[in-house]
Amino acid sequence: MSKKVLLTGDRPTGPLHIGHYFGSLINRKALETDYESYILIADIQALTDNWEQPEKVRANVYEVAADNLALGIDPEKTTLYIQSQIPQIAELTVLYSNLVTVNTLRRNPTVKAEIAQKKELFGADGESVTYGFLGYPISQAADITHVRADIVPVGEDQLPMIEQTREIIEKFHRIYNTEIFPFPQAKLSQAPRILGLDGNAKMSKSLNNAIYLKDSAEETEAKIKVATTDSETTVGYNPEKRPEVSNLVLIYALAKGMTPEQAIGELGQINYSTFKPLLAKALNEHLAPLRERRIEIVSKPGYTAEILSAGRERAIKKAEETMNLVRKAMKIDY
Ligand code: TRP
């Protein structure tokens, strides 16, 4: 029996942070032996809302590649590659675009929320949204299907993309009278969501509230030192009432491999100034092997580029198999 296929992707808009790490990176490392695994660095998707910053996207392709390798994924087992290097993805995007209505794209909850957030790019009411951005769920369906993926490890915000992919597959099968694709399943991480160090729902560079995998131990300590707490004096875990402090306790617990309740039990009634250095120490210890590997990886000239190039070869081979099936079904196999 051949293995089932796993595909996931990262947008290279910044280096990966501990939210990505505890939320999904740990998962993909754990799954790589059970599946034929593909990790795609979605530079074309990143350009749909960063088309004016190609240098930023390019730089972050290498950051994200290094983060994934630092995690310890085995490049022999997992195919790591850059989306723009697989022309078949662009080709599938065009072919699928007949199967998706503009209204369906407009109603996609994730796309809708992103358009609302990006007023400077897309206008106050989204009136200037581009064809490319509105259509990125189609491109993501092409990402998922060019390797005929069975499972897609993602966060909750990506469920509408997987649902859209399943709809495209259903329509494709029905119209072209074929069954070439598996219906991909989302695999949600069990890890609870990590907030920014300021309690914001998202860790992000622009909010300056993220701890990156590539940060040094000192940078990590400095960021934790200024992390938002509350007007109480001792730590506690109550995500509803005390989101900021509970988030710090959660990070401590994840770093120590325990539950937040166990962490509170272990910590007892300690004040913030005692807790914060303990948190920094726990997180730094947890990330130390990864950070050492990362430094080694980026210091080897050409190492990451070589892996991405081997990944490209493997992904193209798989994508061409898919294209043969697709072209035949669509009667464009001249
Ligand atoms: N949209 C995903 C994100 O923002 C990234 C991504 C691109 C992806 N292509 C994918 C995820 C394919 C899963 C499968 O995180």
Query: Residue 260: how many CA atoms within 13 Å on its side-chain side?
Result: 17
What is the 214 CA–ligand 1 centroid distance (Å)? 21
The pLDDT score that the predictor gives to residue 192 is: 74
Q: Is the CB of 154 under 6 A from ligand 1?
A: yes
Q: Is the CB of 11 under 6 A from ligand 1?
A: yes
pLDDT at residue 162 greater than cutoff 80: yes
Identify which of 35, 36, 54, 34 has the alpha carbon closest to the alpha carbon of residue 44. 54
Rounded to an integer, the average pLDDT of 163-183 is: 98
**CB proximity list for 267: less than 8 A, separation 6 or greater:** 235, 249, 252, 275, 278
Tell me which residue has its CA closest to atom 7 in ligand 1.
9
Tell me which residue has its CA closest to atom 4 in ligand 1.
11
Nearest ligand 1 atom to the CA of 153 is 13
The pLDDT score that the predictor gives to residue 155 is: 84
Give the model confidence (pLDDT) of 89-99 as tens digits.
999 999 999 99
Give the model confidence (pLDDT) of 7-25 as tens digits.
999 999 999 999 999 988 9
Rounded to an integer, the average pLDDT of 201-220 is: 92
Q: Which residue has the higher pLDDT, 202 or 60?
A: 60
Task: Walk me through the domains of the chain, giving residue ranges and CATH numbers.
Answer: 5-193+301-329 (3.40.50.620), 217-296 (1.10.240.10)
The pLDDT score that the predictor gives to residue 191 is: 76
- Confidence at 156, pLDDT banded by 50, 70, 90: confident
Q: Is the CB of 49 under 6 A from ligand 1?
A: no
The pLDDT score that the predictor gives to residue 168 is: 98
